[in-house]
Amino acid sequence: MRVLVGVKRAVDYAVKVRVLPDKTGVDLANVKMSMNPFCEIAVEEAIRLKEKKVAKEVVAISIGPKACVETLRTALAMGADKGIHVTTDVRTDQGISPLAVSNIIAHFAKNEEADLVIVGKQAIDGDNAQTGPMVAGLLGWSQGTFACGMEVDGQKLILDRETDSGTEKLSLKLPSVVTADLRLNEPRYATLPNIMKAKKKPINTVDAASLGIDMELKNTVVSVEDPPVRKAGVIVESVDELVNKLKNEAGVI
Amino acid sequence: SMHPASRVVASRCLRKTLNSRLSSLASYDLFNPTPEHAQLRSMIRNFCDQEVLPQAIEYNRKEVFNVDLFRKLGDLGVLGITVAEEYGGAGMDATAAVIVLEELNASDPSVSIAYLAHAMLFCNNLNQNGSHELKQKYLPGASAGSLICGMCMSEPGAGTDVLGMSTSATPSEDGSYFTINGTKMWITNGSLDGTDTGDAFFVYAKTGKGRAPGDLSAFVVEKGMPGFSLGQKITGKLGNRASNTAELVFDNVKVPATNLIGKVGGASLCMMRNLEIERIGAGAMAMGTARSSLDIMTKYAAERKQFGKPIGEYGQMQKYISESYSQYMAGRSYLYNVARQLDLSTYGNGLDADGVKLFCAPIAKNIADRAIQVLGGNGYTAEYMVEQYWRDSKLGEIGGGTLEAHHKNMWRDLMKRRNIL
């Protein structure tokens, strides 16, 4: 089985982001960037499949500027076999649409003869959560999103999927697209020997523009603003007053 | 002579080469010279955020060595960071060791000092000076973390006066073993659980009667060798409380001659080769706590409000923070510049190794002190970590060479040079 894993270079989860003064987006200057946490979980799951001898090769793909090579090297150091860097200079948090990303990933899923595509359920900058399902749609493959457990059984993928009402068990016919949720696994640290081994693993560089995929943004960001400052609470005198406010002012009952 | 057109082309080529050389110099990261160094730092920092920092306060309070956490460093492949790959190590350079020490110390100096004693004072020294057989015997286990090791040099009666040590190693009649007698003091990783010794030690002992470097030899002494025991675990230390420091007793310990490191009388070579990485290692540790203290006090000054405004708007806070920053950057740059040029297989720049530690150790202490002052009452309590970094950083002025020892060494080294630079 061959596995393609998407890894996105996004703002580090611990960073307290600030909005740009012109409200066109979040200020990314000098901000710490890391592999999207859900992408780490996706890589970890792919490596575990390799260790179980279910997967033969794990290919990591990243879309973005030159610095994405670092993200790919992290995936290689975790155990991926090779990397694909699709280069573009647009802001990857909001300058490229999930549809374009999905088309790129679908293109390479076919190119790399992948049987399984694993991506994070969403990226913590865009929070779109669209790429996984769209890739499945474009390829005509089965999909399992919000995966919290995964087993390969011959040509079937048995997936545990998190929903609001509990965990559901799905049986997917390969090839499939899976999106990784938080509880799927705990990603490993890249050990020093593996960091050194990753130096020799190949990364192919491809210009996004050369793929013949429509990169035009159909949805543009109008403005990005801070959440409203939390207003002070109000002290009420009686239960009747409380019910009245909840009904007529807050509109929640 | 060149045709004018060729001359123009040649000078344009030269300018292009020069420009690209200058731009690559500008993009050279002294602190992360290669992408692998950067990845190592990022991996260790993540590990520290997730696993080292969260246990720092608790283990410091309990004064217990976190052995499980230490063994995880073995899983990460950093315990034998400078050990040859042939013996299970990572085969990396001084800069890599400095990166790990700096990052570990920025979270928990007790973990970092245990790492220094194990990875540098035992593993690196044995890797450089031991026989193939000795290295094969101890380094794979030490690199994996199944053996936790240290180094024995100081004694109750001999600290800076190294050659004044009295632990002796007497060869047997047939030369097949040495008998070691004496006591060693201040041994990091001297005990793991407080009841018995650590696993293996790089032990310096006198094989000669005098005070010359040639009177000193070095041996590997293993846990369980009859006569080798834990004297006491030292408690009530000012800092590094979660690192076990011990007194170790050698009572007619018979050590096979195959455990001699190098030659009889060859210990000073071991010392010379290892001293430089030890000292800049201590400098790296100092820069770790310096960074954390600086980070904590800067963020605090921006958020804490008194009289309606952040305290960072007051000049005294600005002075503490800005002076700390520039001293930190100066120390860090000196440290990494020396690390970059340090050849682990030889010696020859003791002057800058001493210089780095002499400069960085007090800086770390002072920055932690300012951090406590900026945090006020909050700085005085365990929760904000700066009081621990203040106590832990004091050791930098004493252990691994006192400030006064550095003065002595640097004067001697400067006298050997014709010019300062």
B40/A195 touch (CB, cutoff 8 Å), yes or no: yes
A27 to chain B, closest Cα gap in Å: 19
Q: How far apart are CA A228 and CA A234, in angstroms?
A: 17
Separation in Å, CA B21 to CA B7, B9, B325 = 21, 18, 30
Q: How many residues does chain A have?
A: 253
A chain contacts of residue B76, beta-carbon cutoff 8 Å: 189, 191-192
Instruction: Name which of A133-147, B8-22, B298-312 the model is least confident about.
Output: B8-22
What is the mean pLDDT of the segment spanning A137-154?
96
Q: How far apart are CA B204 and CA B167, in angstroms?
A: 8
Q: What pLDDT, on a 0 to 100 scale, did the predictor assign at position B1?
A: 60
The number of C-beta contacts closer than 8 angstroms across A and B is 43
In chain B, the percentage of residues whose pLDDT exceeds 90 is 90
B43/A192 touch (CB, cutoff 8 Å), yes or no: yes
Q: How many CA atoms lie within 13 A of A67 on its CB side?
A: 15
For residue B109, give the amino acid letter.
Answer: P
| Mean of all residue pLDDT scores within chain B | 95
Q: Of B111, B121, B81, B103, which is closest to residue B32 (Cα–Cα)?
A: B103
Quick check: B267 and B216 in contact, CB under 8 A? Answer: yes
Residue B33, pLDDT > 80, answer yes
Residues of B serving a catalytic function are 278
pLDDT band at A231 (very low <50, low <70, confident <90, very high): confident
**In sequence order, which residues have a C-beta less than 8 Å from that of residue B418 and are 6 or more positions away?**
none
Q: How far apart are CA A242 and CA B6, in angstroms?
A: 89
Q: How many residues does chain B have?
A: 421
Q: How far apart are CA B117 and CA B119, in angstroms?
A: 6
B chain contacts of residue A74, beta-carbon cutoff 8 Å: 39, 42
Residue A148, pLDDT > 80, answer yes
Token pair 């010019």: residue: B419
Q: Is B398 helix (H, G, I), strand (E, B) or coil?
A: coil
Q: How far apart are CA B70 and CA B75, in angstroms?
A: 9
Q: Which of A77, A192, A198 sits opposite B90 (nearest CB)?
A: A192
pLDDT band at A249 (very low <50, low <70, confident <90, very high): confident
Choose the mutation target among B27, B34, B42, B299 for the interface with A, i.e. most A CBs under 10 Å: B42
Q: Which of B39, B49, B75 sits opposite A74 (nearest CB)?
A: B39
Q: How far apart are CA B241 and CA B61, in angstroms?
A: 8
Q: What pLDDT, on a 0 to 100 scale, did the predictor assign at position A46?
A: 98
Quick check: A48 and A5 in contact, CB under 8 A? Answer: no
* B222-278 tens-digit pLDDT: 999 999 999 999 999 999 999 999 999 999 999 999 999 999 999 998 998 899 999
Residue B93, pLDDT > 70, answer yes
Q: Is B218 helix (H, G, I), strand (E, B) or coil?
A: strand
Quick check: A174 and A2 in contact, CB under 8 A? Answer: no
* A38-49 tens-digit pLDDT: 999 999 999 999
**Phi-psi label, residue B348: left if phi above 0, alpha if psi -120 to 50, beta otherwise:** left
Q: How far apart are CA B360 and CA B395, in angstroms?
A: 12
A191/B76 touch (CB, cutoff 8 Å), yes or no: yes
Cα angle value B114/B117/B119 (rounded, 5°): 95
A chain contacts of residue B36, beta-carbon cutoff 8 Å: 195-196, 199
Virtual torsion, Cα B92, B93, B99, B101, nearest 10 deg:
90
pLDDT band at B2 (very low <50, low <70, confident <90, very high): low
